[in-house]
């Protein structure tokens, strides 16, 4: 039975977190992985090259050498292991999982808020406090998106949950209750 890629990425991230946590290097490892993530995003052909059967192992190792050169032992081992086990394409997912795990451990979370108009600094700060309290977090990064289709209110997405306080949803609910 083949494992789902999301499960594999989650397991690698969890194992990496356990190692980095034991070494008290969670934040440093996360920062290094975020730099690696940027490199992967800026060079999407890198994953294709590593996966290619047309390129020799020696050439692939030469391409990976700059990534490995300045890497900490943990990140170096992760990159090499994903290459050796042909899971290099899962690195971005592993990094995302690792970031979520570290953030959860330190009580930090990211939330997305959709509104009709841009919120001012006071509204953003109050919303961060409400979200932190609701999800028992110490700190919150808030990403704001403007969505005119909401008509009013907010839609908050955090910790795989959606809190929909939009006027559009409320009107749809009223419309449904009238129809039935």
Sign (positive or negative) of CA dihedral 129, 133, 134, 136 = positive
Q: What is the pLDDT of residue 1?
A: 46
Q: What is the pLDDT of residue 180?
A: 75
Contact partners, residue 179, CB within 8 Å, separation at least 6: none
Instruction: Say whether both 13 and 67 belong to one domain.
Output: yes
Q: What is the pLDDT of residue 2?
A: 58
Per-residue b/e over 100-131, b at no fewer than 16 CB within 10 Å?
A: bbbbeeeebbbbebbbbeebeeeeeeebbeeb
- Which has the closest alpha carbon to 94: 75, 66, 71? 75
pTM: 0.75
- Which has the closest alpha carbon to 91: 50, 40, 137? 40
Low-confidence ranges of the chain (pLDDT < 70): 1-2
Instruction: Say whether both 137 and 159 belong to one domain.
Output: yes
pLDDT tens-digit map of 96-107: 999 999 998 999
Domain that holds residue 51: 5-104
Domain count for the chain: 2
Instruction: Say whether both 18 and 92 belong to one domain.
Output: yes
Q: What is the pLDDT of residue 173?
A: 79
Instruction: Say whether both 81 and 142 belong to one domain.
Output: no
Strands 139-146 and 108-115: parallel
């Amino acid at each position: 039975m083949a494992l789902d890629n999301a499960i594999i990425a989650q397991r690698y991230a969890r194992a990496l977190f356990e190692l980095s946590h034991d070494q008290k290097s969670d934040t440093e490892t996360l920062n290094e992985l975020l730099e690696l993530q940027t490199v992967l995003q800026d060079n999407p052909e890198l994953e294709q090259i590593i996966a290619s059967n047309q390129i020799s192992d020696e050439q692939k190792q030469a391409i990976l050498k700059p990534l490995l050169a300045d890497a900490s032992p943990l990140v170096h081992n992760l990159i090499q292991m994903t290459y050796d086990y042909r899971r290099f394409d899962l690195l971005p997912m592993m990094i995302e999982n690792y970031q979520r795990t570290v953030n959860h451990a330190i009580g930090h979370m990211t939330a997305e808020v959709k509104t009709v108009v841009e919120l001012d600094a006071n509204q953003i700060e109050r919303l961060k406090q409400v979200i932190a309290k609701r999800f028992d977090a110490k700190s919150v990064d808030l990403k704001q998106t403007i969505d005119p289709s909401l008509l009013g209110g907010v839609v908050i997405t955090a910790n795989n949950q959606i809190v929909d306080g939009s006027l559009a949803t409320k009107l749809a609910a009223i419309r449904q209750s009238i129809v039935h």
